Chains A and B, each alone.
Chain A
Amino acid sequence: MLTKDQIQMLAIGDVVTDAFIQLLPAEAEIEHDQKRHPLLCMTYGTKIPFQDAIVINGVGNAANAAVASARLDLRTAYISDIGDDRVGHDILRSLRDNHVSTEFITIHKDAKSNYHYVLWYGADRTILIKHEDYNYHWPEIRSHQKPDWIYLSSIGSSGKAIHIGLMQYLRKNPDIKLAFQPGTFQIREGSKKLQELYTRTNVFVANKEEFQQILESNSTNEKTLIHKMHSLGPETVLLTDGPKGAYGSDGKQIVFMPPYPDPKPPLDRTGAGDAYASTFTSAIATGKGLQQALAWAGINSMSVVQQIGAQAGLLNQSEIEAWLKKAPASYKATVV
């Protein structure tokens, strides 16, 4: 329990359980649209057997960040909401097993916990989402529990109370650092409605398409997107670009990091972006520089896609350092 110690990382966001529906290779196929986006095609109106169902408890952007942070030895707590059901209790157990404090998790009576169905085919997946609308509220955080960092990520459409509570708390505690990895609804809100949040953000993380949506920009130039994001407030910005790599910026220089080469073909890409974002933030939180934070992030992201689910592959510090020692020469940050 962290009640006697100061929290180093406080993650905030929805937590879910993912049921991976593992489709048989012969029962679906991948085609591509005109923009080369992969399309999962299944024959309509038929009965299709699937290979297995694998249930992974306690995931989601913020939950993955909490587990990544805890595995990197940061004392981590988590603000989230669950239903009073078996799914919810399994989520609590899973988080505790990963050394994440659950004392700020609200259990809602007569409500269901969030449960996603993940259609898993090849290394990719399509996630079927049904979010529960909770009566969100900001929990009481006692002064001796005040965190060094807060990591805010995806919250459902009715999560306004959390944003309001967070901003009030940050106004009272200006020394707390804020990392922001927006989820679907926060991206849809845009930067104007959440202006105070962007202004207050120390580390901002999103992928390239999300940058374009938030900034309402068609630009494909990473430097342009990063500069525009800095102008909204964030001191440090991370733009991830899938298998192409990532760009980090501290406002003085922009650094590009190529992906860490996969030791074998990826098994499941779930959580690759979350691993990158949360490892980068945790590294910054522990005093690492931009280039080292990017190097750590790429390794954890590579490791996550080698296993099923977003958390099984998350590494601790010594494991990351071991991968870093045997990194190829090409795995090097370059100033853009």
Chain B
Amino acid sequence: MKVGVVGSSAVDIFAVSKFFRPQLGDQRSHIVLEHGSQLWLDNAINEPGGDGLIASLVFARQANTTQLLTRIANDLYGDIIKTIAAEEHVQLMGNIHTTQTHTDTTLHLRSASQDQTILHFTGSYLRLNKADLANLRPDIDLLHIASLPTEKSLLNKLLAFAKRNTIEVSINPRFIHTLPSKALLKILRACNIVVINQDEASLLLGTYCSCIEAAEKLSRAGIGHIVVYCNDAQSVVVKDSVAYIAQEPPKNKSIDGSGAEAVFAAGYVEQFVKSANVGLALSHGLRQAASVKTIIGTRSGILKQPVFDTLKITTKTL
């Protein structure tokens, strides 16, 4: 399968120190560092990040021809991303360099526990523009939008491109506050598969919803194939008025949740497009997500072979 991914690329830096444990304040817990001091890290690990790059790695590891449309800068982190893309056989499309900003970077301040404080910079992907879309190739089978571009017009152009070339479109909208809910819903209706997490779904619907409620409501709002990812709890798919409810068994100890949703989304979409089987797709997506949670960073946890086990799935006709 030939896949085109549109989304952000970043370098995730995991800085590990006991000083990143919370100190209890009056109201909230804080990381407290002596300002003006030097703090020796126990470890510092650079890993690929950004939803677009992570999704590309999932597609590429399943032997799909994978192209990524993204934006990075001509700097150290841009170089790291280019090296990783080359190693993983992900083709970076077009002139991806931006001169106006640094490459997107995320600094994870971690202590021994899984919780962390994340400092993130989003600059280069925001520079994705209409001219970049000319780099998309019409011979792809699937267009996966892993991060929302900042402008609605870019999304509309992506959808128009897919329609013109009869390409299936999947989308995993993150940080949905960048678009008004009504406009975003209209775009989601035009996609073949929508993968969204429970929090974002609740935001989109304007009220807190459980996984099942969110999936049902978004299905009723006109999204034909909706997948609601609920982290370690239930994940739900509603397609053709049938709800598929899966429970991810917590087999492995979760170390780091970074990238898990992007991996789940790409894993689900990849298997569904290949097999048209919701059960297989859910199983594969959840296993991929569970695997990346067992290590710090995402890349080395992404599975090369699909995993289909006896994931319990219940169905319900709506």
Report the minimal beta-carbon distance from A111 to chain B, rounded to whole angstroms. 14
**B31 engages A126 (CB within 8 Å):** no
B32: A residues at CB distance < 8 A: 31, 39-41
**A129 engages B29 (CB within 8 Å):** no
Give me the interface of A with B, judged by CB distance under 8 Å: 17, 19, 21, 23, 30-31, 33, 37-55, 86-87, 90, 115, 117, 119, 121-122, 124-131, 184, 269
**B120 engages A48 (CB within 8 Å):** yes
In-complex Cβ contact of A128 among B15, B28, B118 (8 A): B15
B76 located at the interface, meaning its Cβ lies under 8 Å from any Cβ of chain A in the complex:
yes
Specify which of B15, B36, B79 lies most central, judged by the most chain A CB atoms within 10 Å of its CB. B36
B34: A residues at CB distance < 8 A: 33, 37-40, 126
Report the minimal beta-carbon distance from B89 to chain A, rounded to whole angstroms. 22
* Given A124-B35, A128-B15, CB of A43 within 8 Å of CB of B117: yes
Q: 10 extra interchain contacts, Cβ-Cβ under 8 A, other than A43-B28, A50-B119, A127-B39? A: A21-B107, A41-B30, A42-B119, A44-B28, A44-B31, A50-B121, A51-B121, A90-B76, A117-B13, A126-B35
Report the minimal beta-carbon distance from A52 to chain B, rounded to whole angstroms. 7
CA distance A23 to B117 in the complex (A): 13
B122 located at the interface, meaning its Cβ lies under 8 Å from any Cβ of chain A in the complex:
yes
CA distance A115 to B41 in the complex (A): 11
CA distance A33 to B35 in the complex (A): 11
B17: A residues at CB distance < 8 A: 128
Chain B, residue nearest A118 (CB): B38
Q: Would you mind naming 27 contact pairs between A and B with Cβ atoms under 8 Å apart? A: A19-B105, A21-B107, A21-B121, A23-B119, A37-B36, A39-B33, A40-B32, A41-B30, A41-B31, A42-B119, A44-B28, A45-B115, A47-B118, A47-B120, A49-B122, A50-B107, A52-B123, A55-B76, A117-B107, A124-B36, A125-B35, A125-B36, A126-B34, A128-B15, A128-B39, A128-B44, A130-B40
CA distance A122 to B119 in the complex (A): 17
Chain A, residue nearest B17 (CB): A128
Chain B, residue nearest A122 (CB): B35
In-complex Cβ contact of A44 among B13, B44, B117, B122 (8 A): B117
**A41 engages B25 (CB within 8 Å):** yes
**B75 engages A129 (CB within 8 Å):** no
**B35 engages A121 (CB within 8 Å):** yes
CA distance A37 to B35 in the complex (A): 8
A54: B residues at CB distance < 8 A: 102
B138 located at the interface, meaning its Cβ lies under 8 Å from any Cβ of chain A in the complex:
no
Please provide the chain B residues from 65 to 87 with a CB less than 8 Å away from any CB of chain A in the complex.
Answer: 75-76, 79
Chain B, residue nearest A183 (CB): B38
**A44 engages B115 (CB within 8 Å):** yes
In-complex Cβ contact of B79 among A86, A121, A130 (8 A): A86
Report the minimal beta-carbon distance from B27 to chain A, rounded to whole angstroms. 10
CA distance A2 to B33 in the complex (A): 43
**A52 engages B121 (CB within 8 Å):** yes
B43: A residues at CB distance < 8 A: 130
B172 located at the interface, meaning its Cβ lies under 8 Å from any Cβ of chain A in the complex:
no
